[in-house]
C-alpha cells in the first residue's frame, strides 16, 4: 500500500508561505502572458518572480523517474493540444486564440509546492469556455472531498464523475501526487476512479497535488520528439488545473491559493 508522509505543523506553516509565494508569482506570470509574449521571456520572468520572493524553481533540472535528463525550464508552458511539460523555446510566441497552461513549482525553505492554471488568449469559443470551467470545477470539487477520514480514491472518483458529466476525456497516464518533501512523492493521485485507492485513509498532515487534465477527445497521450512535451494523441485541446492541498484536523487547506 502507498506510504504517505505527514508534514508537521511547522512544515505546514512553511508550505503555506511557499504556496502563497508560488501563487502570487504564477498570478504575475499569468498576467504577463498575452498575445505577443515570448515563452522565453515568460521563463525568465518566472525565475525572477520566485527569486525576488526568496523561493527557487523546483522543476528546473528536476528529473522525473524514468527520464534521463532534468527538465530544462522553471515553468511548463503548454499550448493548445499540448497537455503538460511544454517547453519555452526561442521565438515561440503566444498568439490570440491560444489555450495556454502554466504549471509552476517552488522550493521554499526546503519544501515543495506545485500548481497550474489554464486560460485562453482572447474571447474563448463556447466549447473552450466549457473545457476550462469543467476542469477548474472538477479541481474545486475534488479539493472539497479532502478531509481526515475521507479516502484517497474519493478525489479521482469525484473528478471522473464531473468530467464524464461534461462529456470530456480524462488523461490517465499522468496523475496528481504527494508533494512537500519532493516535487513528486507517493501516493499517485489519479484523476479517475481507481478502486485500489479506495481504502487509503486521508490523515492530517498529508500534502497532495491534485491536478485534473481534461480533454476534448479521449485519454491517449504521446510525447513529442523533444522528449518532454506531452500532447493529446488525437490532437484535441486539453486543460489542466492544479493546487497543493494539505489535510488538516478539520478538513483541508489549499496552500497554493486558486488563481484564474
Q: Indicate which of Co ion, ligand MF3, none lies near residue 112 (CB less than 5 to 8 Å, by partner kind).
A: none
From CA 170, how far away is CA 160, in angstroms rounded?
7
How many beta carbons lie within 10 A of that of residue 256, not counting itself? Answer: 28
Residue 192 near ligand MF3 by CB under 6 A:
no
Residue 114 near Co ion by CB under 5 A:
yes
Q: Indicate which of Co ion, ligand MF3, none lies near residue 19 (CB less than 5 to 8 Å, by partner kind).
A: none
In this chain, which stretch among 59-67, 93-101, 212-220, 246-254 interacts with ligand MF3, using CB under 6 A? 59-67
Angstrom CA distances, 250 to 146, 150, 158, 203, 243, stand at 10, 12, 20, 10, 19
Q: Which of 209, 210, 213, 232 binds Co ion (CB under 5 A)?
A: 209
Residues 6+ apart with CB under 8 A from 2: 152, 186, 187, 188, 197, 200
In this chain, which stretch among 83-91, 111-119, 128-136, 152-160 interacts with Co ion, using CB under 5 A? 111-119
- The three-state secondary structure class of 175 is coil
Q: Indicate which of Co ion, ligand MF3, none lies near residue 105 (CB less than 5 to 8 Å, by partner kind).
A: ligand MF3
CA angle centred on 257, ends 219 and 107, rounded to 5°: 85
The alpha carbon torsion through 79, 80, 85, 88 (nearest 10 deg) reads -20
Smallest separation, CB 73 to ligand MF3 (Å)? 7
From CA 247, how far away is CA 7, in angstroms rounded?
10
In this chain, which stretch among 16-24, 107-115, 158-166, 220-228 interacts with Co ion, using CB under 5 A? 107-115
Cβ distance to Co ion smaller for residue 158 or 244: 244
Q: Which of 35, 54, 64, 125 binds ligand MF3 (CB under 6 A)?
A: 64
Q: Which of 45, 71, 168, 192 binds ligand MF3 (CB under 6 A)?
A: 71
Cβ distance to ligand MF3 smaller for residue 85 or 136: 85
Q: Which helix (H) or strand (E) element contains residue 44?
A: helix 39-51
Cβ distance to Co ion smaller for residue 121 or 197: 197
Q: Which of 11, 82, 114, 154 binds ligand MF3 (CB under 6 A)?
A: 114
Compute the radius of gyration of the chain from its Cα atoms: 17
Cβ distance to ligand MF3 smaller for residue 87 or 128: 87
How many residues appear in the chain? 260
Task: Label residues 42-71 b or e (16+ Cβ within 10 Å = b).
Answer: bbebbbebbeebebbbbbbebeeeeeeeeb
Residue 153 near ligand MF3 by CB under 6 A:
no
Could you tell me the strand order of the sheet in which 185-189 lies? 185-189, 176-178, 207-210, 243-247, 252-254
Q: Which of 30, 85, 107, 252 binds ligand MF3 (CB under 6 A)?
A: 85
Smallest separation, CB 184 to ligand MF3 (Å)? 6
Residue ranges binding ligand MF3 (CB under 6 A): 59, 62, 64, 71, 76, 85, 103, 105, 114, 183, 209
Residue ranges binding Co ion (CB under 5 A): 114, 209
Amino acid at each position: 500500500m502507498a506510504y504517505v508522509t505527514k508534514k508537521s505543523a511547522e512544515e505546514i506553516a512553511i508550505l503555506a508561505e511557499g504556496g502563497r509565494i508560488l501563487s502570487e508569482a504564477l498570478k504575475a506570470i499569468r498576467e504577463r502572458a498575452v498575445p505577443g509574449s515570448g515563452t522565453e521571456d515568460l521563463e525568465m520572468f518566472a525565475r525572477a518572480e520566485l527569486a525576488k520572493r526568496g523561493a527557487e524553481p523546483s522543476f528546473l533540472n528536476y528529473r522525473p523517474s524514468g527520464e534521463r535528463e532534468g527538465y530544462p525550464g522553471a515553468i511548463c508552458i503548454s499550448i493548445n493540444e499540448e497537455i503538460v511539460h511544454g517547453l519555452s523555446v526561442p521565438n515561440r510566441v503566444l498568439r490570440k486564440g491560444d489555450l495556454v497552461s502554466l504549471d509552476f513549482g517552488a522550493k521554499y525553505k526546503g519544501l515543495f509546492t506545485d500548481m497550474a492554471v489554464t486560460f485562453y488568449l482572447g474571447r474563448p469559443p463556447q466549447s473552450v469556455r466549457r473545457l476550462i470551467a469543467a476542469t477548474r470545477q472538477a479541481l474545486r470539487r475534488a479539493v472539497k472531498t479532502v478531509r481526515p477520514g475521507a479516502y484517497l480514491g474519493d478525489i479521482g472518483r469525484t473528478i471522473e464523475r464531473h468530467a464524464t458529466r461534461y462529456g470530456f476525456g480524462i488523461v490517465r497516464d499522468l496523475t496528481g501526487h504527494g508533494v512537500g518533501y519532493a516535487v513528486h512523492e507517493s501516493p499517485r493521485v489519479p484523476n479517475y476512479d481507481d478502486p485500489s485507492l479506495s481504502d487509503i485513509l486521508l490523515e492530517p498532515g498529508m500534502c497532495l497535488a491534485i491536478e485534473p487534465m481534461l480533454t476534448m477527445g479521449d485519454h491517449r497521450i504521446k510525447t513529442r520528439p523533444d522528449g518532454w512535451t506531452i500532447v493529446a494523441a488525437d490532437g484535441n485541446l486539453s486543460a489542466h488545473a492544479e493546487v497543493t492541498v494539505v489535510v488538516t484536523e478539520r478538513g483541508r487547506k489549499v496552500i497554493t491559493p486558486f488563481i484564474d
